[in-house]
Amino acid sequence: MKRQLYIFSLLVVLIFSACSDEKKEETILARVGDKTISLNEFLRRAEYTIRPAYCRNNSNIDKKIILNSLIAEKLLSIEAGNNNSFITGSEVKMFLQGRLEQAMRQFLYNEEIKSRVKIDTNKINNTVKYAGREYDVSYVSLNDTTVVKQLTEEFFHDKAGFEKTLSENYNLKQIPEKKIIWNNLEHPVILNTLFTRDYKKNDIIGPVKIEDDHYMFIKIKGWIYAPDVAEKQIQDRYNMVKETYEKYQSRNMYENYIRDIMKGKNLNFNKNVFFALTDIFGPLYLKNRKEKEELFKNGIWNYKNEEMKYQDTKPRLDQIRKEKLFTIDGEIWTVDKFLMEIKKHPLVFRSQSFPNKEFGLQFQLAILDLVRDKYLTAEAYKKGFDKLPEVVRDNQMWSDNINALNKKYRILQETNSDSLFSTDHLSVLEKTLNPKIDYLQRKYSDKIFINTEIFNKIKLTKTDMAVTYSGSPFPQVVPNFPVITSDYELDYGNSMK
């Protein structure tokens, strides 16, 4: 069977996958030696991930356990040191560099795009008047400009009926129908068309240009209106419209920004090597669903190590490691370079579900997105975003977390508790980890400072959730909650002045 390599311009494969980590003034909640825990970090670690049952509520005891756990994480990281073989290992260094660069791209988006988005208040107010409508429409989608011109003539010059014209002149047996309300799922062009003026029943709208070579004609069959009565409803609708406009303006600005960066850069695949790599990667993805979820959790390729934990692929990879996979802007990417890059930028597949035969296409798109992000990262480095306090703090949080996890694992191994922890973590906490953390609290007590005034004002919700960045190489916003101690006593340290 003939295999096809899809050709894309780097100007048109750009998707919107940025997220918003805005610059915020950090309030320091605790100091542990040379490490700090900010109020923002405390709140995110408490509410952006699933907490264990022993501190899942919002009582004062729960707050103390959470703070003790975060301080314990810092203490274990200090005990482990910054020069141990684990934290300085190549895999961990690549992971931390990848997380750093993802945060840099997020701040690049905030500075270059989000901070510059401005929506006309008059436009919002005008749209709010119609945003409570639920339209009942029939429509036809076209990609033939000749037919578009013909229908425009028939509908608006000849005044031909919508259904009659489509069925008799174009042999359309069934005309699609749908209900349309204002929401983020609908195409912005459709929203801007339907909800910015007063349409009457039987009005025909079009041609509406959705995208290049994609047009629509829409007939209004009718609509109902849900008025806002309460002040909160009015404000909620205003905010909904405003946020939708901001989202789509941001997306358009971001795509244009990326186009400027990628202008003139052409990526050319080495067809034979690409197909060989596809043959190696493809079967790993196209395994049964359970294994697929482990390999591509949330659509993310979890590239753990050079051999991908599949030893039978290593000989085949070794055969092509030094081969050219593609060139971009005069730079050669060998397979080996590509394998190194995806350690710090796991591949993001645009679609999480697709037919087996489309793996090559999706694999190619994921590579293109990786290359795009590499150029965005270079822009972020130029602006010094790797030195931003918020970026450095976020990276330190991840470094301390994995350093502490490794230290905890070694403690459990030394006490022969590692296998028991997965089945009865409460007893292991009580017998092994709590005493260890109590010891470290006493050992470092003179180096621990807590802002009790800020701490006492913290209000937690009962709702904890797993928050993720959609479409990002590293989707997890914060590390998993550190299951290190269940102690709720703050009987150590000093009050922060």
Instruction: Tell me how far apart the alpha carbons of residues 25 and 200 are, in angstroms, rounded to a whole number.
Output: 50
pLDDT for the residue 464: 66
Q: pLDDT grade, residue 356 (50/70/90)?
A: confident
Write out pLDDT tens, residues 302-323: 444 434 444 567 788 889 999 9
The pLDDT > 70 percentage for the chain reads 89
Q: pLDDT grade, residue 16 (50/70/90)?
A: very low
Contact indicator for 51, 464 with CB cutoff of 8 Å: yes
Q: pLDDT grade, residue 329 (50/70/90)?
A: very high
pLDDT at position 290 over 60: no
410-419 CB contacts, 8 Å cutoff, 24+ apart: 411/436
CA max distance for the chain: 88
Instruction: Tell me how far apart the alpha carbons of residues 83 and 96 are, in angstroms, rounded to a whole number.
Output: 15
14 token code pair: 């750009």
Sign of CA dihedral 85, 89, 93, 96: negative
pLDDT for the residue 326: 98
Average pLDDT over residues 282-303: 51
- Sheet with 331-334, strands from edge to edge, namely 267-269, 324-328, 331-334
Instruction: Tell me how far apart the alpha carbons of residues 171 and 88 are, in angstroms, rounded to a whole number.
Output: 68
Buried b (16+ CB within 10 A) or exposed e, 464-493: beeeebebbbbbbbbbebbbbbbbbebebb
pLDDT for the residue 470: 82
Residue type, position 254, single letter: Y
pLDDT at position 254 over 90: yes
pLDDT for the residue 404: 97
Partners of 331 in beta bridges: 328
Contact indicator for 470, 19 with CB cutoff of 8 Å: yes
Q: What is the pTM of this model?
A: 0.83
The number of helix segments (H) and strand segments (E) in the chain equals 18, 11
More confident residue, 419 or 378: 378
Average pLDDT over residues 200-224: 94
Write out pLDDT tens, residues 40-68: 999 999 999 999 999 998 899 999 999 99
